[in-house]
Structure 1
Amino acid sequence: MNKLSLSVPLSLLCLSAFSTEATTYITAKAMLDVNNGKLISTPLIQIDNGVITQVSTGNLPTLQQGDEHIQLLELTIMPGLMDMHVHLTSDPTVPRSERIGQSIPRQAIKAAYFAQKTLNAGFTTVRNVGAQGYSVIAVRDGINAGDIIGPRIWAAGPSLGVTGGHCDNNRLPPEMKYTAEGVADGPWAVRAKVRENIKYGANAIKFCATGGVFSKGTKVGIQQYSLEEMTAIVDEAHMRGLTVAAHAHGTSGITAAIKAGVDSVEHVSFVDDEAIKLAKKHGTWFSMDIYNTEYTLTYGEQNGVAQENLEKERQVSKRQRDSFRRAVDAGVNMVFGTDAAIYPHGDNAKQFSRMVEFGMSPLQAIQSATINSAKLLKVEDQLGQLKVGFAADIIAVKGNPLNDVSLLENVSFVMKAGTVY
C-alpha cells in the first residue's frame, strides 16, 4: 500500500512534466494601444488559460501540437469594450404597460438573451445598474458558471430609492400597496438595503439621487435622497468593497452625490461649475448617456412611453449634451455608459460617434470604454488593455477606429477570456 500511494503522485508528476496546455496565438494587421493611441503593426498576442502571456510584433508563432493560431490579417485588434450603465432585463421595444406584468423569471430570460447580444457587439464587460429580483445577478452567475453566454457583469441588485421617487414604482394604484424592493428611507434603512443587496450577490450598488425621465410623477432636477442618506449608502458599500453609482440629473443631487463619495454619477444632465470642480477634486467618474435621445423621441410613443416621460426627455437631452461637452473640456473623469434598455441592446457602440460629436477625440471615447471603465471598477490591472497579465478580452474591426470611431458599431471578432464568441 505504501508503494502504491507513492507511485500515484509520482506518475502524475511525470505526466504533468511532459504535457503542455494548448496556447492560442492571435496575429492581426494592427493593434490599438488604448493607453497612448498608437497603432501597432503586425502584432502577435499569446494567450494561455484566458490570460495574455506575451505581446510582440512582426513575429509568427511557433506552434506546438494542439495550439491554435487565429489570423486576423485584415483587422485591427483592441481590448474588449466596457459599458458602465446597462439594464439587461429591460426591452425598449415592449410597451411599458406590458413590462409591468413580466415576472422575475421572465426578466432573467430577457437578460440572458440581451447579455449574449451585448457580448456579440464587442462589449466584454458591463455594469448592470439595477434590476428586479436579483435577476441579473443570477444571469451573471450563470455566465460565470458557463451555463449561458455573456459579458463579465458587475451587477447591482434593486436600485435604492426614496418612497415615491425615481427608483420606486408609482404607476400602480394605492390600493395595491406596491413598493419597489429597493425603496429605503433614512440612513439606517439605506444601510440595511445595501447589506441586503450584498447578501444576495450584488457586486455594485446603485441609488437614485434625483428624479428621472422614465418614472411617473418625479421631476428630473429635484434631489431625492438627503446628503446624510447618500453618505450612509456610500459608506456601507465602500466598507464592503463595492463601487457606488448615483443616478442624478439635477444639480443639487449631482453635487450631494459627489460630496457623499460616490464612485460615479450617472446621466449628469444639469451640471454646474461647482459640481465639475467637485468631481475633479474627488476623482468622481461621470457616466453620461448621450446617444439614446433620438431613439426615445422617435420610437418612444409607439413603444408605450407616456407623454410625461417624452416631455422630460426633451427637457433633458440638449442640457445633458451641453453638460457632457463642458465636463470633457474641464477634464472630468469620464466612463462609457449608455443606459442600454432605453434603446435596443447591442447598439451600445453607437454612442461613440455622439461622444466625438460633443467634444471627445476618438481616443478619449475609446479610453472611456476601456482603461477608464476598468479604473472605475478597480480592475485596471486586469481589464481594459492588451498587456501581459491582462484577461484576453479582445475585439477586432476592419480599419482604424481612431480615424472613424463608428467602425466600433461593426465588430468582426469577439474574444472573452481567451474564448472566441
Structure 2
Amino acid sequence: MSRSLAFPGVAVLVAGLVGLGAPAALAQVKPTYVHAGRLVDPEAGKVLTNQLIRIEGERIVAVSPWTKAPVDGPVLDWSSLTVLPGLIDMHTHLVDQEQTDNIAEPLLTTAAEQAYIGAAHARATLMAGFTSVRDVGTWRAFGDVALRDAIDKGLVPGPRMSVAGAYITTPGGGGEITGIAADVGIPAEMRRGVVEDAADTHRKAHDILVHGADFLKLIATGAVLTEGTEPGQLELSEDEIKAAVEEAAKRGTYATAHAHGAEGIKVAVRAGVRSIEHGSLIDDEGIALMKAKGAWLVADIYNGDFIDSYGTAHHWPEGMLRKNRETTDAQREGFRKAVKAGVKIAYGTDAGVFPHGWNAKQMPYMVKYGMTPMQAIQSATTVAAALMSKTGQVGCAGPSCYADLIAVVGDPLSDIAVLTRVAKVMKGGELVKD
C-alpha cells in the first residue's frame, strides 16, 4: 500500500507546467516493456512463452504475445530468462539482528543503529527477489513501521512491507526477552505488547494498530528460540486472542498467531486468527479445523536444518537446540498432511533466524514435503497475496498488478532451486537488480 509519493514536489511542478501550457508529454508516462522468454502466471497456474509485458509507471497494463519490438519505450530483453511475479515472504524479521548465541542481543544496539540494520536486511531481501514481505514482529516496537514508511518514501531500497508493530505476548512468554538476570530492566518499548488479560489485550492491540501496524501478531504458545518457554505450551488464552481479533476487525484488518503446539493452534483458529505461524506440532484435528475455518498456515520448514547445523557450530543455548530437534520433523510431517488436506499455505521462512537474502532456500523444502513446484510458487505469490488481502496488486503479473517482476536462468518448474539465484529484480517498474 503506497502511503506517500517519494518526491511530491515533482508531481506538483509537472502539474503546474502542464497547466501553464507546457508540452503534454511532460504529463505522460513513457511505457517500459519486458520481453519475457517464459512467463510464469501463478494466477492461471501455467507458463506462457515469448511474452511482451507493458509497464506504465508502477503498474503492468498489458501482457500479450511478442511480435516485434515496440518503438514508444525501452524494451528489457529477458527473452532468455524465466520471468515471475516478485516473490512474497510472509514471515520475516527485518528490523532485528539476525539470531545469535547471545540471548541479550536485542539489548546491545541503539534504535538508530537498529534502523541501519533493518535497512541492510531490507535491501538483501529485495535483491533476493522478494519484492513484498510481511514482517511479523520486532523487539523494539514500531521499528518495522518506520522501515516500511522509509521504503515507501523511497529513502531506502526494500520490499513492500506489511508490519506487526510489536508482539502481543504474555509476561515472560515467547515474545519477551527472557533468560537474563532478574534485576536487568527491559526497556518499555520492548514490552509494548505484553498483556495481562483480555481487557489489557484490547488496550494494547488498539495502541499497536493506531501507531501504524498493518495487522496484529500474537504469541499464542511458547517459542523454540525464547529461553524459558516451551513450544507446546499455551500462553495466551482464547479470550485474549479473541480480544485482539476483535480490535483488528474494528480497523479492517486481522490477527495472526505464532503457535507451535497442537492445542494453541486450535485455540487460535477457534478465536478467529487469519493465519497460524509455524504450526510445528499440529495434529489432524487442527488441520481439519484450519481447513474448515479457511485459516492459512505459514510454516518455516527450512530453518530447522539451519538452526541444527549453524546453531550447534556456534554454540546456541542447548535449550534452543533441543526444542528445534523436537519440532523440526514434526513440523514437516504436519506440513505434508496440511498440503494433502488442502489447507491454504502461504510462504514464510522466519528470515532473521537465518541470513536475510536466503529466503528462497525454503522453496526446495516445500516441494520435498508435498507441493508441486507450481504450488510452491503460488504459495509465495497468489496465496500470500490473498492472505494479505492484496490479490491483484502483488504476487501477480497481469494488468493492474504492480510491476514487481523477477527473472531467473532456467526453469523453476523443473528445478525450483533456481529461485535461489535471481538474475533480475524489478519493483514498481524500476529495475533494482540487473
Shorter chain as denominator, the TM-score bin is over 0.9
Give the counterpart of 1:330 among 333, 341, 348: 341
1:151 is aligned to 159
Q: Does 1:310 align with 2:318?
A: no
Which letter maps to 2:31?
A: T
Give the counterpart of 1:370 among 378, 381, 387: 381
Does the 8 Å CA contact 2:91/2:349 hold for their aligned counterparts?
yes
User: d(CA) in 1 for partners of 2:414 and 2:420?
Assistant: 14
Secondary structure of 1:259's counterpart equals helix
Q: Kindly report which structure 2 residues correspond to 1:11-410, keeping only aligned pairs within 5 A, or say none.
A: 12=20, 15-16=23-24, 20-64=28-72, 67-92=73-98, 94-96=100-102, 97-131=104-138, 132-178=140-186, 180-410=191-421
Does the 8 Å CA contact 2:132/2:159 hold for their aligned counterparts?
yes
| Pairwise CA distance, 1:183 | 0.6
Does the 8 Å CA contact 2:280/2:332 hold for their aligned counterparts?
yes
Aligned-pair identity in percent equals: 38
| Pairwise CA distance, 1:9 | 8.8
Q: Point out the more displaced range, 93-102 or 390-399.
A: 93-102
Secondary structure of 1:412's counterpart equals strand
User: d(CA) in 2 for partners of 1:390 and 1:277?
Assistant: 33
Secondary structure of 2:157's counterpart equals coil
Q: Deviations over 1:97-124 (max 9, x none)?
A: 4443122222221111000000000000
Does the 8 Å CA contact 1:81/1:370 hold for their aligned counterparts?
yes
User: d(CA) in 2 for partners of 1:105 and 1:200?
Assistant: 19
Does the 8 Å CA contact 2:39/2:48 hold for their aligned counterparts?
yes
Which letter maps to 1:127?
A: R
User: d(CA) in 1 for partners of 2:19 and 2:165?
Assistant: 48
User: d(CA) in 1 for partners of 2:141 and 2:25?
Assistant: 48
Does the 8 Å CA contact 1:290/1:354 hold for their aligned counterparts?
yes
Q: 1:115 to 1:17 in 2, by over 3 A?
A: closer
Gap runs ≥5 in structure 1 = 1-7
Q: 1:225 to 1:12 in 2, by over 3 A?
A: same
| Pairwise CA distance, 1:18 | 8.1
User: d(CA) in 2 for partners of 1:11 and 1:136?
Assistant: 40
| Pairwise CA distance, 1:61 | 3.8
Secondary structure of 2:232's counterpart equals coil
User: d(CA) in 1 for partners of 2:131 and 2:158?
Assistant: 8
Q: 1:17 to 1:349 in 2, by over 3 A?
A: closer
Aligned CA RMSD, in angstroms, stands at 1.7
| Pairwise CA distance, 1:200 | 1.8
Which letter maps to 2:127?
A: N
Q: Point out the more displaced range, 112-121 or 188-197.
A: 188-197
Does the 8 Å CA contact 1:87/1:341 hold for their aligned counterparts?
yes
Does the 8 Å CA contact 1:33/1:78 hold for their aligned counterparts?
yes
Q: Point out the more displaced range, 170-179 or 321-330.
A: 170-179
User: d(CA) in 2 for partners of 1:303 and 1:294?
Assistant: 14
Q: 1:94 to 1:213 in 2, by over 3 A?
A: closer
Does the 8 Å CA contact 1:212/1:220 hold for their aligned counterparts?
yes
Does the 8 Å CA contact 1:250/1:271 hold for their aligned counterparts?
yes
User: d(CA) in 1 for partners of 2:181 and 2:312?
Assistant: 23
Secondary structure of 1:175's counterpart equals coil
Does the 8 Å CA contact 2:18/2:27 hold for their aligned counterparts?
no
Gap runs ≥5 in structure 2 = 1-15
Q: Deviations over 1:201-229 (max 9, x none)?
A: 11121010000101111111011111011
Secondary structure of 2:29's counterpart equals coil
User: d(CA) in 1 for partners of 2:106 and 2:414?
Assistant: 40
Q: Point out the more displaced range, 10-19 or 141-150.
A: 10-19
Relative to the length of structure 1, the TM-score reads 0.94
1:5 is aligned to none
| Pairwise CA distance, 1:144 | 0.4
Relative to the length of structure 2, the TM-score reads 0.91
2:3 is aligned to none
Q: Point out the more displaced range, 190-199 or 151-160.
A: 190-199
User: d(CA) in 2 for partners of 1:51 and 1:236?
Assistant: 33
| Pairwise CA distance, 1:304 | 4.9
Does the 8 Å CA contact 1:34/1:363 hold for their aligned counterparts?
yes
Does the 8 Å CA contact 1:211/1:221 hold for their aligned counterparts?
yes
| Pairwise CA distance, 1:168 | 1.5
Secondary structure of 2:54's counterpart equals strand
